[in-house]
Chains A and B, each alone.
Chain A
Amino acid sequence: EPEVTQTPSHQVTQMGQEVILRCVPISNHLYFYWYRQILGQKVEFLVSFYNNEISEKSEIFDDQFSVERPDGSNFTLKIRSTKLEDSAMYFCASSDPIAKNIQYFGAGTRLSVL
């Protein structure tokens, strides 16, 4: 069964450092998303991406965040200068052109900012 894959599973970084979280969405999907989940809290939307541009972003997704689809298969989330409060699980999701309300999630990357 096709699945969304994310790497790494756990990323530890120092405050102020840049991190790139990587995702490979399901191959025929055209809509891509990033969400985050702070420990014990609900899943929060960060950004959606379609046709090589951001469709929508939340207030969390400030100018420290960026997304990119560099090569037609990967979808990345970059945090330029990490803060302690960026520590969370980051989930990538994708959906297909028809049933775009159904989003399929990867297993997530746990980001720990020290």
Chain B
Amino acid sequence: GESVGLHLPTLSVQEGDNSIINCAYSNSASDYFIWYKQESGKGPQFIIDIRSNMDKRQGQRVTVLLNKTVKHLSLQIAATQPGDSAVYFCAENSGYGNKLVFGAGTILRVKS
């Protein structure tokens, strides 16, 4: 069946360092992959997405890489700040109605 999963449940980084959050997916038919950030007590917040016909997309301080050969997605955060501390979810968009299938989440902790 379809599933999206994460390699590392918790990632601790020093403020100013770069962070890399990884995600594996299994549905090769998915068209979009999206990263969400969820802070405590809030709903998921859209960060960046990438379409399946791309392998890299950059935003402000964030880069998403897609490797379809090994079904792997990563989120890179440059110069990580304390405000980046949150749970990060990857999600894939699949099927009619565009439901999102979420991964389990990675906790990012930024140490000052």
Task: Flag A76-107 by CB within 8 Å of B: 1 or 0 each.
Answer: 00000000000000010101000011111111
Once the chains bind, are A43 and B89 in contact (CB under 8 Å)? yes
Give chain B nearest CB distance to A42 CB in angstroms: 5
Is A55 at the interface (CB under 8 A from chain B)? yes
With A103-B46, A104-B46, A107-B42 as given contacts, are A42 and B99 in contact (CB-CB < 8 Å)?
no
Nearest B residue (CB) for A45? B99
**In the bound complex, how far is the Cα of B98 from the Cα of A107, in angstroms?**
20
Give chain B nearest CB distance to A33 CB in angstroms: 7
Task: Flag B74-112 by CB within 8 Å of A: 1 or 0 each.
Answer: 000000000000000101010111111111110000000
Once the chains bind, are A42 and B46 in contact (CB under 8 Å)? no
Once the chains bind, are A42 and B104 in contact (CB under 8 Å)? yes
Once the chains bind, are A56 and B44 in contact (CB under 8 Å)? no
**The one of B34, B42, B102, B103 that contacts A101, using a Cβ cutoff of 8 Å:** B34
Once the chains bind, are B105 and A50 in contact (CB under 8 Å)? no
Write 16 A-B pairs (CB below 8 A) sorted by A numbering: A31-B98, A41-B104, A42-B89, A42-B103, A43-B89, A43-B102, A45-B101, A48-B97, A50-B97, A55-B97, A56-B97, A56-B99, A100-B98, A101-B34, A103-B98, A105-B43
Question: A residues near B, CB below 8 A?
Answer: 4, 31, 33, 35, 41-45, 48, 50, 55-56, 58, 91, 93, 95, 100-108
The 10 closest A-B pairs by CB, nearest first: A56-B97, A55-B97, A105-B43, A48-B97, A101-B32, A43-B102, A45-B99, A101-B93, A105-B44, A42-B102
Q: A45-B100, A55-B98, A108-B42 are in contact. List 16 more A-B contacts (CB 8 A).
A: A4-B43, A33-B100, A41-B104, A42-B103, A43-B89, A45-B99, A48-B97, A48-B98, A56-B96, A91-B44, A101-B32, A101-B34, A101-B98, A103-B100, A104-B46, A107-B42
